[in-house]
Amino acid sequence: MTDITDDIAEEISFQGFEDDCRLLGNLLNDVLQRELGPEFMEKLERTRVLAQSACNMRMAGIEDTAELLEKQLAAELSKMTLEEALSLARAFSHYLNLTGIAETHHRVTKARGSTNLSKSCDDVLNQLVQGGISPADLYDTVCKQEVEIVLTAHPTQINRRTLQYKHIKIAHLLEYNDRPDLGHEDREMLIEDLVRELASIWQTDELRRHKPTPVDEARAGLNIVEQSLWRAVPHYLRRLSNALKKHTGKPLPLTCTPIKFGSWMGGDRDGNPNVTAKVTRDVSLLSRWMAVDLYLREVDNLRFELSMNQCSAKLSRLAREILEKVKTLDDWHETRSQQSSLGQFKNYSNHAPPLPTQLPAGADMPSCAEHNDMKTHYPRLDVPGTEFMPMNRQQGRQDSLIFKESSLDTSKLSIKTHGNGNANNSGNGQSVVTPRGTSSTSSQLLLQRRQFAESQIGRTSFQKLLEPSSSQIPGIAPYRVVLGDVKEKLSKSRRRLELLLEDLPCEYDSWDYYETSEQLLEPLLLCYDSLQCSGSGILADGRLADLIRRVATFGMVLMKLDLRQESGRHSETLDAITKYLDMGAYSEWDEDKKLEFLTRELKGKRPLVPPTIEVTPDVKELLDTFRVAAELGNDSLGAYVISMASNASDVLAVELLQKDARLAVAGELGRPCPGGTLRVVPLFETVKDLRQAGSVIRKLLSIDWYHDHIVKNHNGHQEVMVGYSDSGKDAGRFTAAWELYKAQEDVTAACNEYGIKITLFHGRGGSIGRGGGPTHLAIQSQPPGSVMGTLRSTEQGEMVQAKFGLPQMAVRQLEIYTTAVLLATIRPPQPPKEEKWRKLMDEISKISSTTYRNTVYENPEFLAYFHEATPQAELGCLNIGSRPTRRKVSTGIGHLRAIPWIFAWTQTRLILPAWLGVGAGLKGICEKGHTEDLRAMYKEWPFFQSTIDLIEMVLGKADIPIAKHYDEVLVSESRQELGAELRRELLTAEEFVLLITGHEKLSENNRSLRKLIESRLPYLNPINMLQVEILKRLRRDDDNNKLRDALLITINGIAAGMRNTG
Contact (Cβ atoms closer than 8 angstroms) between residue 738 and residue 852: no
Amino acid identity at 462? F
Element (H, E) at 849: helix 835-853
Q: Hey, what long-range contacts does 709-715 have (CB within 8 A, 24 or more apart)?
A: 709/655, 710/756, 711/756, 713/676, 713/677, 714/679
Rounded distance between C-alpha atoms, residue 625 and residue 839, angstroms: 46
**Partners of 680 in the β-ladder:** 640
> In terms of Cα–Cα distance, which of 777, 760, 801 is closest to 147?
760
Rounded to 5 degrees, φ, ψ at 830 are -70, 135
Q: Measured between alpha carbons, how far is 286 from 498 in angstroms, rounded to an integer?
A: 9
CA 451, CA 465: separation in Å to the nearest integer?
23
Instruction: State the Cα–Cα distance between residues 822 and 923, nearest whole angstrom.
Output: 37
Q: Under 8 Å CB-to-CB from 329, ≥6 apart: which residues? A: 394, 397, 400
| Cα distances (Å, whole numbers) of residue 470 to 310, 316, 370 | 21, 21, 16
Q: How many CA atoms lie within 13 A of 116 on its CB side?
A: 2
Contact 385, 357 (CB under 8 A): yes
Provide the residue type at 64 as one letter.
D
Residue 774: name the closest of 946, 1005, 909, 955 by CA: 946
Rounded Cα distance, 272 and 264, in Å: 12
Question: Three-state DSSP class for 149?
Answer: strand
**Residue 827, amino acid:** R
The DSSP-derived string for 908-925 is TT--GGGTTTHHHHHHHH
Q: Burial of 617 by CB count in 10 Å (0-12 exposed, 13-18 middle, 19+ buried)?
A: exposed
Alpha helices in 145-183 (DSSP H): 161-177
Cβ-based neighbours of 322, under 8 Å, separated by 6 or more: 403, 481, 482, 484, 485
Query: Are 570 and 643 a contacting pair, CB within 8 Å?
Result: no
Q: Which of 94, 80, 85 is nearest to 32 (CA)?
A: 94
* Rounded distance between C-alpha atoms, residue 804 and residue 821, angstroms: 19
Active site residues: 154, 729
Rounded CA-CA distance 1062/1060 in Å is 7
**Quick one: three-class SS letters along 204-256?**
CCCCCCCCCCHHHHHHHHHHHHHHHHHHHHHHHHHHHHHHHHHHHCCCCCCCC
Q: How many CB atoms lie within 10 A of CB 387?
A: 14
In 10 A of CB 230, how many CB atoms? 22
What does the alpha-carbon distance between residue 268 and residue 152 come to, in Å, rounded to a whole number?
Answer: 8
Report how far residue 344's alpha carbon sits from residue 474's, in angstroms, rounded to the nearest whole number.
Answer: 40
Q: Using alpha carbons, list the distances in angstroms from residue 157 to 662, 801, 899, 1010.
A: 37, 8, 11, 24
What is the C-alpha to C-alpha distance for residues 968 and 980, in angstroms, rounded to an integer? Answer: 10
Give the C-alpha separation, 969 to 75, whole Å: 12
